[in-house]
Amino acid sequence: MIQEEIKKEITNLIEDIKSLCFIFAYKESLTNEYNSEDEAKYEEVINDYNQGICDLSEEYTLFYTKACRVVSCVLPERLEEFKSCYIHNSKTAQRFSVITIWSYFNRISVGSIKLDNRIEDIVYKLLKQQKNILKSCLDCLDKALYDIEVNIQYQFYTDELETARYLLSKKYIRPAGVIAGVALENHLKSVCKKYPTIKVGKNDTLSKYFDYLKSVNAIDVTLYKKLLYLADIRNLCCHSKDREPSNTEVEELINGVAKILVDVCYKKEI
């Protein structure tokens, strides 16, 4: 499952940065940042470091490349903060510490700038800050994946509605209504499946989805009645034995579905 794979990747990255924090603290003799249990846990890492097998700068660079990709996808609003711990750009230079992880690895001098803490202490805090951002990614993963899924579906259904509008402009009234109706049904079915208390059946009808959503307060009475009206137009388009739908009705259906895509979405049950 993709969600579990991403969780595993983030968990591995958190373990990587924990290991890097320990190596850094060990290297710089920040003895107040680790204890005997940490030494026992990272005994193999210590041996690799002492033998020159583990290069802190190289290990960090590998970690940073993978971590940036994860943060950009899961928690993009904190990507700039994550990157600023490593290296500044012109936009962040005045907002964050003059010391970065990059300046430490590349032995860049801070000149005559007065620092309140040792460089090693500052860099260690920056590493921990990156670790905490990754932990936040793990906490926000479910919502991030849901948002990605919703955005993809929204774009897909919007494209379908554009197709429906094009067909309507060419006077293919019934096919236009059918496409809009399918977009409506698939969207509402997808929303219903997000609710743990809703058990969607294989043969559930569009009106059944309305009832499901009303039962979990995802829609109010006014919206429920609006959906019933849109469903009536959709049924006119899908069943040729009834009267022909009008251009105005199908236009209402398309515009109504476009609004439903925005107004009807999963709301966490309290």
Kindly tell me if the per-residue pLDDT of 109 is higher than 70: no
210-224: per-residue pLDDT in tens?
999 999 999 999 999
Q: How far apart are CA 246 and CA 224, in angstroms?
A: 23
- Percent pLDDT > 90 in the chain is 54
Q: How far is CA 204 from CA 87, 189, 192, 229, in A?
A: 54, 9, 11, 18
170-208: per-residue pLDDT in tens?
999 999 999 999 999 999 998 998 888 899 998 899 999
- pLDDT reported for residue 250: 97
Q: In terms of Cα–Cα distance, which of 49, 57, 71 is closest to 102?
A: 57
Give pTM, 2 decimals.
0.60
Q: Quick one: pLDDT band at residue 267, thresholds 50, 70, 90?
A: low
- pLDDT reported for residue 110: 57
3-38: per-residue pLDDT in tens?
788 889 999 999 999 999 999 998 888 888 888 788
- pLDDT reported for residue 95: 45
b/e 166-187 (16+ beta carbons within 10 angstroms → b): ebbeeeebbebbbbbbbbbbeb
38-73: per-residue pLDDT in tens?
888 888 888 888 888 888 999 999 999 999 999 998
Q: How far apart are CA 139 and CA 145, in angstroms?
A: 12
